[in-house]
Amino acid sequence: MKKPVILTGLRANNDLHIGNYFGALLPLIDMAKNHAEDYEINLFVPDLHSFTTPIDHSALQRDILNNLRIFAAAGLPIDHDSVHLYRQSYVPAHSELAWILDCFTGFGELSRMTEFKDKSAKLGAEHIGVGQFNYPPLMAADILLYGATYVPVGDDQRQHIEFTRNIAERLNNKFGDLFVIPKSVQEQHAFFRKDQGLRIKDLQDPAKKMSKSDESGKGIIFLGDNPLEASKKIKSATTDSFGKIDVNNQEQPGITNLLQILALTSGRSTDAVTNEYNGQEQYGPLKTATADAVSSFLTDFQDRLAKVDDARLMAKLEADEKQMNEVANTTLLRVQRAIGLRS
């Protein structure tokens, strides 16, 4: 590729909520905007990875396109020449390189992966798919096919980055310079100035992050929620019995969560919001202001989402997938020749 590569995945399925929006989606868009002049920005949909957990297969394509529309509505610069959108399964080299990497990976190496161990312990060996066990080689293929230097990941993926570095070095040592080695996790975090602080919490249980696992739906605000219903969720959010807002009181996670949501959805700084409400002896005004801000945010976002040009988005996707196939196939052929599959 023409410039160094930053690569990251876009969610393939599941509804997105405001925690995803402010905690992951907007930072990713800001990253693309800030680095597109100096880097190739590869944003791929990991649709093959989505099968590691049970999903509604009949809805996968709809979910993929809907999530891409959400990114476009949120401001992703899809018209920039250095921003590339593509679906993982539409570039077959991902699967083929993953198999090759499998054959140079030890069983024990994958068995030690924390994510696999945790899910295996939770579900039991009889109920966890081989795809979950085999996740790291496919993720490594996603990265190595494009010579990606930087891959923004959460702490739960740090082992996978180190695995990618290890398997790339292993094959480079055996067959020559096949792959670009991505930067270490520490270097990744330094480059992206990683901030682990933003975690919007569940409205009903502010001790845990907002998550789709909330079966009641009362603690989570989806981007597709009716603004009036979302407003009601905010007004029924759990607070506490202190009766006074103290921004330094760590025993007020519900209040802290509302202050953060208000700041994010209103576009104001956290300091400005906390200074306004600190010391108030009623929670009602904060809930009302937050409910109004969330309602306005959803109304505006849903209006922008409705205006996304689907034909333009599909044209971008198909053009980039053609280009990414050329890049990935060049890498794959180099590997195939090195290991004897091609002359």
- Which residues form the catalytic set? 119, 209, 212
Q: Is 6 helix (H, G, I), strand (E, B) or coil?
A: strand
User: Tokens 């202050």 label which residue?
Assistant: 259
Distance CA 295, CA 173 (A): 56
Half-sphere exposure at residue 184, Cβ-oriented, CA atoms within 13 angstroms: 2
What residue type is assigned to position 16 of the chain?
L
Tokens encoding 122 = 């939770």
Report the C-alpha gap between 143 and 26 in whole angstroms. 22
CA distance 76 to 298: 18
Element (H, E) at 41: strand 40-45
φ, ψ of residue 93 in degrees (nearest 5): -60, -25
Cα distances (angstroms) measured from residue 123 to each of 53, 54, 127, 132: 11, 12, 6, 12
Please answer whether residues 50 and 87 qualify as being in contact, where contact means their C-beta atoms are separated by less than 8 angstroms: no
Q: Which two tokens stand for residue 187?
A: 């270097």
